[in-house]
Amino acid sequence: MQDVDADANIHRLQESFNTLDFSAQDALEMYRFMLLARLTDEYLADLRTKGLMNGGVSCKGHEAIQVACARELVIGTDYILPYYRDLALVIAMGMPLYDIFLNHLGSEKDPNSGGRMRPAHWSSRKLGIVSSSGVAATHILHAAGIAFAAQIRQSSAITAAFFGEGATSEGDFHEALNFAGIHRVGALFICENNGVALSTPQSRQMKVKHVADRAPAYGVHGMLIDGANVFAAASAIREAAARARNGGGPVLLEAVIPSQNKMHEQPEIYDPVYSLRTFLLQLGALTEAADKEMREACAQKIEEAYQLALSTDNTGIFAVQDYVYADNPAESPQENIQPEISFSIEETLPND
């Protein structure tokens, strides 16, 4: 996305907003999720700095595309395969903050994986979140398989896999896109391109300028969007999802995420939360006071969820050897894994 000034950026948000049938209320709701994710992310970072929290990476700058996806996909029906970067996605999908903190604390009560995985490898059968490993790109193939299975079962569910631009260098990406293209499966391959993989810049990762440039090699529909513009993202995902759901085949969608540098230096242009806020203020959907209130409500939710997670006994529901195989233990998993105490999906939404 070429450089722009702050005004032009707001103008672009406005334009994208206009193309959608979103009400100001809808926009506000998306802003709330982005804000909640941002504040949770900062809260987690703070805990990490203090040594109170395990690993995990920031979703800063990635909130717009993630929240847009959560809104446009059918939660509970569609299959979602996130990667470790997708905190805003799972929050907006309705994963309780309590669970998120249990997960980040590595608690044995964490319904995602009970301390088996490092943080940020989410899993929720109820929300359709497929458990991801820590091995980059393997899940892209799973998405292709899930989507083809849905096609065979004549299900309307689509499948969305999320990954960074670095992951597209793995053979799994190639094999997944190739298969998906041949069978025109209902899958969205969503690349959150933040320009860097650990220390490796995109220029050492691939020769092409855009990951979406790889779509034609697979006969797959490619889309390139501004990943920091939540309305553009929602509109693109809506189009892509409709295409995938209606037999139009897979989409490789690249959401360009501003670099951390740019976001730091010119947040008014590059920070998706910051610029959406400005837009909503200009639109009149938000006031400074309402924004302050919303932030406080979010902060309180986060604090409460964290404290509750902290106070939750952090030891064993299952023996460490359980679930290596189905016959160990014999009980049906779904009944066991939800701990008694948990927010409902709605409760994760910040109150006005």
Ligand X SMILES: Cc1ncc(C[n+]2csc(CCOP(=O)(O)OP(=O)(O)O)c2C)c(N)n1
Residues interacting with another protein, by CB under 8 A? 54, 79, 106-108, 111-118, 121, 123-125, 130-131, 133-138, 141-150, 152-153, 159, 166-167, 169-172, 175-176, 178-179, 182, 197-200, 204-206, 315, 318, 320-327, 333-334, 336-337
Q: Which residue type, as a one-letter code, is found at position 55? A: G
247 binds ligand X (CB under 6 A): no
- Considering only 70-78, 103-111, 191-199, 291-299, which stretch makes contact with ligand X by CB under 6 A? 191-199
Token digits of residue 268: 């008014």
Stretch that binds ligand X, among 149-157, 161-169, 244-252, 262-270 (CB under 6 A): 161-169
User: Residue 122, interface with its own copies (CB under 8 A)?
Assistant: no
Using N-to-C axis directions, what is the helix angle for 63-72 and 272-283, rounded to 10°?
70
CA 324-329-330 angle, to 5 degrees, is 125
Of 123, 110, 51, 59, which Cα lies nearest the Cα of 86? 59
Judged by CB under 6 A, the chain residues 52 through 91 that form the site for ligand X are: 85
Q: Which residues does 16 contact at the CB level (< 8 Å), separation at least 6? A: 229, 231, 232, 235
Q: Which partner in its own copies, Mg ion, ligand X, none is near 204 (CB below 5 to 8 A by kind)?
A: its own copies
Helix spans in the chain (H): 6-19, 24-49, 63-72, 87-93, 97-105, 138-152, 171-183, 230-245, 260-265, 267-270, 272-283, 288-311, 333-337
End-to-end CA separation in angstroms for the chain: 34
125 binds, among its own copies, Mg ion, another protein, none (CB under 5 to 8 A by kind): another protein
β-pair partners for 192: 164, 255
CB of 10 to Mg ion, least distance (A): 27
By C-beta, is 117 or 302 nearer to another protein?
117
Check if the beta carbon of residue 139 is closer than 8 Å to that of residue 132: yes
Q: Is 284 in the site for its own copies (CB under 8 A)?
A: no
Residue 152: CB minimum distance to its own copies, A? 16
Say how far apart CA 235 and CA 223 lie, in whole Å.
11
Smallest separation, CB 177 to its own copies (Å): 9
Q: CB under 5 to 8 A by kind: which of another protein, Mg ion, ligand X, none does 85 bind? A: ligand X
Interface residue list for Mg ion (CB under 5 A): 164-166, 194, 197
| Contact set with its own copies (CB under 8 A) | 169-175, 178, 181-182, 203-208, 213-214, 216-220
